[in-house]
């Protein structure tokens, strides 16, 4: 599967605790606060949050965000929940100092595991290395910060994701601490996405966070706005109603590239503005936020 368009990781935040503390009291935020969220790449300007302000305040609409990172994106609204993610093995050492620093002033309810470790272009982790990091770093962080724990994020390439996750869980021998399954899906048909999610839920018997998904032809041409809109009109009501889907986030941001398909972009320039900075929500983004 070709890699999705995604920027390189940023430098570390300017201010972090130099010494990890021994205990943090963390208030949990229940999943019922809202299912629908945003994928927010690190280089997305903070000014773009203003595009979503009205939907953050609407009950049951945009309630949470993750950025594949262990730090909070600039200008995130205080009433929008940020969910940290330990994206790669290199980030594992940062879990304690980053979260010790950030969670003093900001609440979070969960920690997401490695991002597509079965895919060479993503976290690219063998099972043995992932198990060691999970035991040494991830599980202690879950306990220390009082967070629910998501599995490593698995792709919809089940020929790779299922064997990897099954082996990972087997080697942990029941001591995995996982509270929910993190899944990604890309494809043109909602019926295929639903079948994938139902199969993974039945296989692993865990609630699901679908924290990346998009209506995509995966490089075989691009979906158009009408196709993406029709997909969302099928997907969103089902995701909202399904009792074991806890949260979900569509993969649409500044420019998702040709592999996902630019019809999924959530923002576009304001015509006639005369600057390159002014943006507005696309028709697809408005549908995602309002439907």
For residues 172 and 81, give the distance between their C-alpha atoms in angstroms, rounded to a whole number: 30
Under 8 Å between Cβ of 281 and 289: yes
Number of H helices and E strands in the chain, helices first, is: 9, 10
Q: Going from the N-terminus, what domains does the chain have, and what CATH number goes with each?
A: 35-290 (3.20.20.80)
For residues 207 and 246, give the distance between their C-alpha atoms in angstroms, rounded to a whole number: 7
Q: Are strands 245-250 and 36-39 parallel, antiparallel or unpaired?
A: parallel
pTM over 0.95: no
pLDDT tens for 52-68 read 999 997 876 899 999 99
pLDDT tens for 29-53 read 344 458 999 999 878 888 889 999 9
C-alpha count within 13 angstroms, C-beta hemisphere, residue 96: 16
Share the mean pLDDT of the chain.
Answer: 87
């Amino acid at each position: 599967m070709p890699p999705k368009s995604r920027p390189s990781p940023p430098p570390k935040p300017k201010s972090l605790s130099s010494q990890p503390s021994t205990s943090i009291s963390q208030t949990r935020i229940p999943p019922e606060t809202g299912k629908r969220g945003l994928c927010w790449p690190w280089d997305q300007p903070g000014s773009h949050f203003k595009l979503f302000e009205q939907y953050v305040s609407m009950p049951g609409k945009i309630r949470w965000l993750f950025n594949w990172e262990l730090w909070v994106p600039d200008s995130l609204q205080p009433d929008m929940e940020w969910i940290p993610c330990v994206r790669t093995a290199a980030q594992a050492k940062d879990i304690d100092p980053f979260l010790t620093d950030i969670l003093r002033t900001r609440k979070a309810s969960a920690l997401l595991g490695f991002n597509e470790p079965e895919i060479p272009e993503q976290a690219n982790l063998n099972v043995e290395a992932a198990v060691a990091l999970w035991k040494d770093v991830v599980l202690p962080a879950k306990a220390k910060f009082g967070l629910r724990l998501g599995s490593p994020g698995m792709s919809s390439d089940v020929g790779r994701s299922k064997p990897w996750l099954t082996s990972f869980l087997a080697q942990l021998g029941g001591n995995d601490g996982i509270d929910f399954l993190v899944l990604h899906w890309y494809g043109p048909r909602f019926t295929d996405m639903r079948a994938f999610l139902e199969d993974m839920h039945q296989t692993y018997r865990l609630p699901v966070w679908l924290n990346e998904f998009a209506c995509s032809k995966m490089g075989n041409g691009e979906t158009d706005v009408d196709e993406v809109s029709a997909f969302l009109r099928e997907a969103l009501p089902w995701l909202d109603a399904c009792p074991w889907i806890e949260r979900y986030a569509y993969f649409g941001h500044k420019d998702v590239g040709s592999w996902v398909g630019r019809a999924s972009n959530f923002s576009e320039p304001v015509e006639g503005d005369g600057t390159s900075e002014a943006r507005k929500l696309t028709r697809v983004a408005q549908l995602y936020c309002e439907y």
